[in-house]
Amino acid sequence: MKRIGILTSGGDAPGMNAAIRSVTRCAIHSGMEVKGILRGYQGLINNEVIDMDARSVSNILGRGGTILKTARSEEFMTEDGRKKAFETVEKNGLDDIVVIGGNGSFQGAHIFWKEFKVRTIGIPATIDNDISGSDYSIGAYTAVNTALDAIDKIRDTVTSMERIYVIEVMGREEPFIAIRVGLAGGAEDVLFPYNEYNIEDMCEDIILGRKIGKISWIIVVSEGVASAPSVADIIRKRTNFSVRPIVLGHIQRGGAPEAFDRILASRLGFNAVEALLEGHTDAMVGIVSEELKITPYEEAIKKDCKKRLLNEKLYKITKVLAT
Ligand code: F6P
């Protein structure tokens, strides 16, 4: 009987539990034995392995976070740490591991394969949606909705008090959340990496806007480009207007996954089990244009040019609609 492990790694994302549930039940359905590895790669190093059955994943489909817990393991980045992790794989007789996580998690899985031939299949789960080989990663759209809900509420004060609000959203290097909440929340502007338009241009636009009667602004900042307090300071100094910074932070990672993410997680869990039954390894399952796609980790961790192009297109629409 094949025995697989499941772990969640890196930043938690809403829908990770739905993926754990799907992998566990699909694997059991296919006659496999399932072990849960707690705290991601760190738990693999420390041999934190638990038995899983169909009932271990009851009532978690709609819960945020991850029942397996997650971590960013610095020890796994060392060869010695990976050696210890390999010993756990051997000790528990794990044939394959399903790694639910993002970019860093897949980099780790790839090195693990190269050094110790540990077989893994990845499921993309990160609110950043910064992985190539899948149009969406689990949790990203729930995070957009969470940030949007906050921005809709902030708008009431923005318009009542006629101020400029600078709202920072998560996204490390990729502005998936910023671009979407900018468009869906009717922001006046979005600051994000790889855009030529900069803060100085924006201050000039604000001054011009005031002259023609515009009174309030919502500016979304993607964390990869600057922090909300620093952007707010610059705008205040240049324009002399009332400006408030808001950092939405980790609320974007929490909460119940939206239907979209539950469905995505359930599909990818199913696909991951199929992929490992077919003998795939060192690769990630994803959905591209509604079709299953298996992408080697080496490709998955590269920047996705198509996603960047789409971001730029959506941003152009935001600017037109903000006039
Ligand atoms: O990768 C998800 C993410 O939330 C990023 O958007 C953010 O930059 C980072 O994780 C924050 O990490 P941590 O929770 O470790 O502070």
Question: Which CATH number fits the domain that encloses residue 30?
Answer: 3.40.50.450
Q: From the CB of 280, is ligand 1 less than 6 Å away? A: no
The residue range of the domain holding 212 is 141-253
Q: Residue 60 domain-assigned?
A: yes
Taking only the tens place, the pLDDT of each residue in 244-295 is 999 999 999 999 999 999 999 999 999 999 999 999 999 999 999 999 999 9
Q: Does residue 89 share a domain with residue 7?
A: yes
Of 12, 128, 135, 282, the active-site residue reads: 128
Atom of ligand 1 nearest to the CA of 172: 8
Looking at the fold, whether 126 and 18 belong to one and the same domain comes out as yes
Q: Is residue 312 part of a domain?
A: no
CA 131 to each of CA 71, 176, 224, 234, 284: distance values in angstroms, whole numbers, following the listed order: 19, 11, 16, 33, 10
* Interval between CA 48 and ligand 1 midpoint (Å): 24
Q: What is the pLDDT of residue 196?
A: 83
Instruction: State pTM to two decimals.
Output: 0.97
For residues 124 and 147, is the Cβ–Cβ distance under 8 A?
no
Residues 6+ apart with CB under 8 A from 143: 13, 14, 127, 170, 177, 252, 253
Report how far residue 142's alpha carbon sits from residue 127's, in angstroms, rounded to the nearest whole number.
Answer: 8
Chain Cα centroid distance, residue 227: 19
Could you tell me if residue 310 is inside a domain? no
What does each C-alpha distance from 221 to 20, 125, 252 come to in angstroms? 32, 22, 14
**Is the pLDDT reported for residue 197 higher than 90?**
no
Kindly tell me if the per-residue pLDDT of 170 is higher than 90.
yes
Band the pLDDT of 58: cuts 50, 70, 90: very high
The candidate with the shortest Cα–Cα distance to 139, out of 129, 149, 151, is 129
Q: Which residues 6+ apart lie within 8 Å of 297 measured at CB?
A: 106, 107, 109, 110, 113, 122, 282, 283, 284
- Of ligand 1's listed atoms, the one at least distance from the Cα of 170 is 6
Mean pLDDT within 16-39: 98
Neighbours of 7 (CB within 10 A): 30
Q: Do 277 and 215 share a domain, yes or no?
A: no
Tell how far the Cα of 90 is from the centroid of ligand 1, in angstroms.
Answer: 31
**How far apart are the C-alpha atoms of 282 and 119, rounded to whole Å?**
6
Q: How confident is the model at residue 234 (pLDDT cuts 50, 70, 90)?
A: very high
Is 169 a residue whose pLDDT tops 90? yes
Q: Would you say the CB of residue 171 lies under 6 angstroms from ligand 1?
A: yes
Structure tokens at 265: 């997680």
| Alpha carbon nearest to ligand 1 atom 12, residue | 11
| Whether residues 205 and 79 fall in one domain | no
22 and 168 co-located in one domain? no
Determine the Cα–Cα distance for residues 93 and 95; give it in Å rounded to an integer: 6
Q: What is the rounded average pLDDT of the residues 79-91? A: 98
Output the pLDDT for position 72. 98
Are both 18 and 130 inside the same structural domain?
Answer: yes
Looking up residue 205, the CATH number of its domain turns out to be: 3.40.50.460
199 and 267 part of one domain? no
What is the pLDDT at residue 194? 87
For β-strands 243-247 and 164-169, DSSP reports them as: parallel
Measure the CA–CA gap between 169 and 228, rounded to whole angstroms: 9
Question: Predicted confidence band at 85 (pLDDT cuts at 50, 70, 90)?
Answer: very high
Mean pLDDT of 145-158: 97
Percentage of the chain modeled with pLDDT above 90: 96
**Residue 16 lies inside a defined structural domain of this protein:** yes
> In the block, which residue shows the tokens 């993607």?
222
Report whether 129 contacts 136 (CB < 8 A): yes
130 shares its domain with 263: yes
Q: What is the DSSP letter of 95?
A: S
Is the residue at 311 inside a domain? no
Task: Check pLDDT > 90 for residue 125.
Answer: yes
Instruction: Give the pLDDT mean for 108-129.
Output: 98
Check whether residue 104 and residue 173 sit in a common domain.
no
Rounded mean pLDDT, 152-160: 95
Check whether 240 has a pLDDT greater than 90. yes
**128 labelled catalytic:** yes
CA of 251 to the centre of ligand 1 (A): 11
- CB 142 near ligand 1, within 6 Å: no
The answer to whether residue 283 is domain-embedded is yes
Q: Which atom of ligand 1 lies at the shortest distance from residue 127's CA?
A: 2
Cβ–ligand 1 distance for 11 under 6 Å, the answer: yes
Up-side HSE of residue 279: CA atoms within 13 Å toward CB? 0
Read off the pLDDT of residues 32-42 as tens digits, 9 standing for 90 and up: 999 999 999 99
Tell whether ligand 1 has an atom less than 6 A from the beta carbon of residue 127.
yes
Distance 209 CA to ligand 1 centre (A): 34
Protein residue closest via CA to atom 3 of ligand 1:
11
Residues 14 and 119 in one domain: yes
The total number of structural domains in the chain stands at: 2
Question: Which alpha helices (DSSP H) does the chain contain, by range?
Answer: 16-29, 40-45, 79-91, 103-116, 140-161, 176-184, 199-211, 228-239, 259-277, 297-300, 305-321
110 with 240, same domain: the answer is no
Residues in the chain: 323
Residue 223: predicted pLDDT: 97
Query: What is the residue-averaged pLDDT of the chain?
Result: 97
Q: What does the DSSP assignment read for 143-202?
A: HHHHHHHHHHHHHHHHHHHT-EEEEEE--TT--HHHHHHHHHTT-SEEE-TT-S--HHHH
Q: Are residues 150 and 134 in the same domain?
A: no
Ligand 1 atom 13 nearest Cα? 11
